[in-house]
Amino acid sequence: MKILKTKKEVKQQLFTYRKDARTIGLVPTMGALHDGHLNLVKNAKRMTDVVVVSIFVNPTQFNNPEDLAKYPRTVETDLAKLEAEGVDYVFLPEVAEMYPKPTGLTFDFGDLERILEGAFRPGHFNGVGVVVAKLLHIIHPDKAFFGQKDLQQVAIIRRMVDDLAFDVEMVVVPTSREKDGLAMSSRNGRLTAEDRKHALVLFESLTLARKELLAGKPWFEVQDKISHKFNLVPGVELEYFELVRTNSLEVVSTIDISEQTTGKEYSLCTAAYVGDVRLIDNLPI
Active-site residues, by number, are 37
Max CA distance (Å), the chain: 59
The reply, when asked if residue 37 is annotated as ligand binding, is yes
The reply, when asked if residue 61 is annotated as ligand binding, is yes
Q: What angle do CA 47, 12, 106 make, to 5 degrees?
A: 75
Element (H, E) at 27: strand 24-29
The reply, when asked if residue 70 is annotated as ligand binding, is no
The reply, when asked if residue 223 is annotated as ligand binding, is no
The reply, when asked if residue 184 is annotated as ligand binding, is yes
The reply, when asked if residue 33 is annotated as ligand binding, is yes
CA distances from 69 to 57, 58, 271, 276 (A): 10, 11, 21, 14
The reply, when asked if residue 32 is annotated as ligand binding, is yes
H helices of 95-150, in order, are 95-98, 117-120, 124-139
CA distances from 218 to 223, 229, 246, 256 (A): 9, 17, 19, 12
The reply, when asked if residue 124 is annotated as ligand binding, is no
Give the whole-angstrom CA distance, residue 223 versus residue 252.
12
Q: Which residues are documented as binding site for ATP?
A: 30-37, 147-150, 184-187
Q: Which residues are documented as binding site for (R)-pantoate?
A: 61, 153
Q: Which residues are documented as binding site for beta-alanine?
A: 61
Q: Which residues are documented as binding site?
A: 30-37, 61, 147-150, 153, 184-187
